[in-house]
Amino acid sequence: MWGLTLATALFSSEDISSVQWQLMDGSQLLGVGEHQLTVWDLDTGRGAAAVSSEIPCPGRAQSALTGARWNPHQCCSQVAAACDTHVRGFDLRCGQQAWTVENADAQLVRDLDFNPNKQYYLATCGDDCRVKFWDIRKPTAPLKVLVDHSHWVWRVRFNHFHDQLVLTSSSDWRVLLTSAASLSSEPYGHLLDDDDDGPAQSGAQLADGQLACCEEHEDSVYAAEWSSADPWTYASLSFDGRLVVSRVPRQVKYKILL
């Protein structure tokens, strides 16, 4: 109908709920199945795709995987998957589990995302209505917990450039823009020593907390993503098909840039 031609067909032993391009050169695809992750190597010149890894995720037989993400660090050699109430990281070089965050959610982990600028930092969200931030080197307790949503949280995303900006969407019909400046890669706190002369920094400081709330949806918001072209623009999609495009408030933008 639209003049499209099939470039490559992907095959898996399980139904695939979602796929993601590899973050560095797009030469691989990650597929999320019911109980395993599948990685395909793509040969765009020949229009072929071959399965390079099939990684089963341990867990209860009745619990399907709810999400996965490429780790943007370490040359994209790791992926992480939401398995029931846990998050498990896998090394694609050997196909083995590299780390785990046990009981990341009290009920079910719905989504996860890596901080693109700060290695080892991960955010999770789920059915306990909380967004949690983790250091995967010390996963016994979260670094920070947000309790701003009143129902299941379906999506969490770090801003690709300014990682103190975190986007979340929920079944409470809301999309929240939150500052997690205390955990970001950018300087936080006083930039001058107490005995240095200079203007106070606290007035221009972007503190932790909620920055904006989008309430334009009238149903559960299942998806929210940052623009790949403009770091100040994001979009959200609800169950009823409504797509809302929003921008970071100007005063927040200036606090980050100035």
Q: What is the mean pLDDT of the chain?
A: 90
Backbone angles phi, psi at 223, to 5 degrees: -140, 145
Write 103-107 long-range contacts (CB < 8 A, 24+): 104/132, 104/134, 105/130, 105/132
- Cβ(90)–Cβ(52) below 8 Å: no
Q: How far apart are CA 258 and CA 251, in angstroms?
A: 10
Three-state DSSP at 81 gives strand
- What is the average pLDDT across 19-27? 89
Q: Cα 177 to chain center, whole Å?
A: 14
- What is the average pLDDT across 199-209? 66
- What is the average pLDDT across 239-257? 96
- Cβ(212)–Cβ(248) below 8 Å: yes
Write 3-7 long-range contacts (CB < 8 A, 24+): 7/44, 7/47
Q: Of the segments 8-22, 50-64, 124-138, 194-208, which one has the largest average pLDDT value? A: 124-138
Q: Of the segments 49-63, 137-151, 193-207, which one has the largest average pLDDT value? A: 137-151
Other C-beta atoms closer than 10 Å to the C-beta of 79 total 24
- Among the listed residues 139, 216, 225, 140, the one whose alpha carbon sits nearest the alpha carbon of residue 173: 216
Report pLDDT for 230: 97
Residue pLDDT, tens place only, 112-140:
999 999 999 999 999 999 999 999 999 99
Q: How far apart are CA 197 and CA 10, in angstroms?
A: 62
Q: What is the CA radius of gyration of the chain?
A: 20
What pTM was computed for the model?
A: 0.89
Domains and CATH numbers, the chain: 104-185+204-257 (2.130.10.10)
* Residue 199 scores a pLDDT above 50: no
Q: How far apart are CA 155 and CA 222, in angstroms?
A: 7
Report pLDDT for 192: 38
* Residue 82 scores a pLDDT above 70: yes
Residues 6+ apart with CB under 8 A from 219: 173, 238, 239, 240, 242
Could you please report the per-residue DSSP string of 178-236? Answer: EE-GGGSSS--S-SS-TTS-S--SGGG---SEEEEEE---SS-EEEEEE-SS-TTEEEE
- Among the listed residues 94, 98, 17, the one whose alpha carbon sits nearest the alpha carbon of residue 52: 94
Report pLDDT for 200: 41
Q: N- to C-terminal Cα distance for the chain? A: 49
- Among the listed residues 225, 208, 235, the one whose alpha carbon sits nearest the alpha carbon of residue 133: 208
Task: Tell which phi-psi region holds residue 143, choosing left (phi > 0), alpha (psi between -120 and 50) or beta.
Answer: alpha
Percent over 90 (pLDDT), the chain? 75
